[in-house]
């Protein structure tokens, strides 16, 4: 299965049998078979026929609309999972403070460990940055060791914030200096690295929403991220340990110069990736997206199983990070 990215003004998409057809100025300019598609991403002034939306929905092909300069996604989804009892159990558990804290500790520990593993691997090949990365890893290790001792969501979020500050200092050391990355910023991002991270995180979040929706879970009802109007809090929970995958991808794109500072422009709306750069980004993104979908499917399955057990087991650790058994202890060899 693969994704289709449409980032072209004035294009109309229609259905023709088992194919998606592109029209421009009334002329047919191309076709794509529907069979291999799993996602369709639309950006810009693109028109989609209702018959095509119907076919995409029937096949469970998610449509993600990246509208506006901020590229905030709107998602059109197919038929959801039929087990409404699963969502009822999720709602009940979202009010169980003990379950939510266990789940949240697992999420934060998995995120910190994935960040530490990434920086530890880079330290071995970055002689000039070894000292700073070692200090960063020490700070992350301190945060990891303290996760289980956090008595509340507030203290856990503070610990996560301290870990993030340490991690992004190490990440900044790895990026090319001409990107002028001085830490994470957003809404709007103010430099090329942050612009790319925001785009990648947006796509990752959209994949999490689609995976949760397809599994019969409510993306808006989370256990770590609190309820917030218009925010898919459970999707936010699940993407936390996987953000490092986007970070590694961004680092690769900049170091290989597949993307350069000249591909971005800065305005009052923030730093934005231009159209030519987006085309190269999407071409590189799809391989990572396939891996992220697999990891998210495993994470969603773990969460659904935990919910089905009505909170009698600790919250599962998201796939691709650290496996969680009957408690939150993990082997030191994992990072």
What's the predicted TM-score (pTM) here? 0.81
Average pLDDT over residues 150-165: 95
Q: Please tell me the distance from the alpha carbon of residue 172 to that of residue 99, in angstroms, as a whole number.
A: 35
User: Residue 250 corresponds to which tokens in the numbers above?
Assistant: 């961004």
Token pair 């530890």 in the structure block, residue: 120
Convert the pLDDT of each residue in 235-279 to its tens digit.
999 999 999 999 999 999 999 999 999 999 988 778 989 989 998
CB 18 within 8 A of CB 34: yes
Q: Count of CB atoms within 10 A of residue 33's CB?
A: 10
Convert the pLDDT of each residue in 52-77 to its tens digit.
888 787 777 878 887 655 555 666 66
Candidates 1.20.120.920, 3.40.50.1700, 3.40.50.620, 3.50.30.30; CATH matching 84-334: 1.20.120.920
CB 110 within 8 A of CB 317: yes
In Å, how far are 103, 105, 191, 327 from 313, measured between CA atoms? 10, 14, 43, 9
How many CA atoms are closer than 13 Å to the CA of 304, on its beta-carbon side?
Answer: 20
Candidates 3.40.50.300, 3.30.70.2740, 1.10.10.10, 3.100.10.20; CATH matching 2-76: 3.100.10.20
Per domain, the residue ranges of the chain are: 2-76, 84-334
């Amino acid at each position: 299965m693969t994704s289709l990215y449409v980032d072209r003004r004035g294009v109309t998409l229609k259905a023709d049998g088992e194919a998606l057809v592109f029209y421009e100025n009334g002329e047919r300019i191309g076709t794509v078979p529907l069979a291999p598609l799993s996602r369709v991403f639309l950006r810009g002034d693109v028109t989609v026929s209702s018959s095509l939306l119907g076919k995409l929905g029937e096949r469970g092909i998610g449509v993600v609309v990246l509208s506006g300069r901020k590229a905030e996604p709107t998602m059109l989804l197919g038929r959801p999972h039929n087990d409404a009892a699963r969502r009822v159990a999720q709602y009940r558990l979202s009010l169980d403070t003990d379950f939510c804290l266990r789940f949240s500790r697992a999420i934060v520990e998995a995120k910190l460990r994935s960040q530490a593993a990434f920086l530890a691997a880079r330290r071995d090949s970055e002689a000039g940055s070894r000292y700073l990365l070692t200090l960063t890893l020490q700070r992350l290790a301190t945060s990891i060791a303290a996760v289980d001792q956090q008595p509340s969501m507030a203290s856990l979020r503070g610990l996560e914030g301290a870990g993030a500050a340490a991690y992004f200092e190490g990440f900044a050391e790895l990026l090319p200096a001409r990107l002028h990355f001085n830490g994470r910023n957003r809404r709007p991002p103010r430099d090329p690295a942050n612009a790319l991270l925001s785009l990648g995180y947006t796509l990752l979040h959209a994949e999490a929403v689609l995976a949760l929706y397809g599994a019969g879970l409510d993306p808006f009802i989370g256990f770590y991220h609190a309820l917030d109007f218009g925010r898919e809090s459970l999707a936010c929970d699940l993407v936390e340990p996987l953000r490092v995958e986007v970070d590694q991808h961004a680092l690769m794109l900049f170091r290989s110069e597949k993307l350069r500072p000249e591909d971005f422009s800065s305005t009052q709306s923030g730093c934005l990736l231009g159209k030519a750069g987006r085309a190269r980004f999407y071409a590189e993104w799809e391989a990572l997206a396939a891996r992220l979908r697999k990891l998210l499917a495993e994470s969603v399955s773990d969460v659904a199983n935990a919910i089905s057990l009505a909170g009698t087991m600790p919250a599962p650790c998201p796939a691709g990070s650290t496996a969680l058994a009957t408690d939150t202890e993990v082997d030191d060899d994992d990072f």
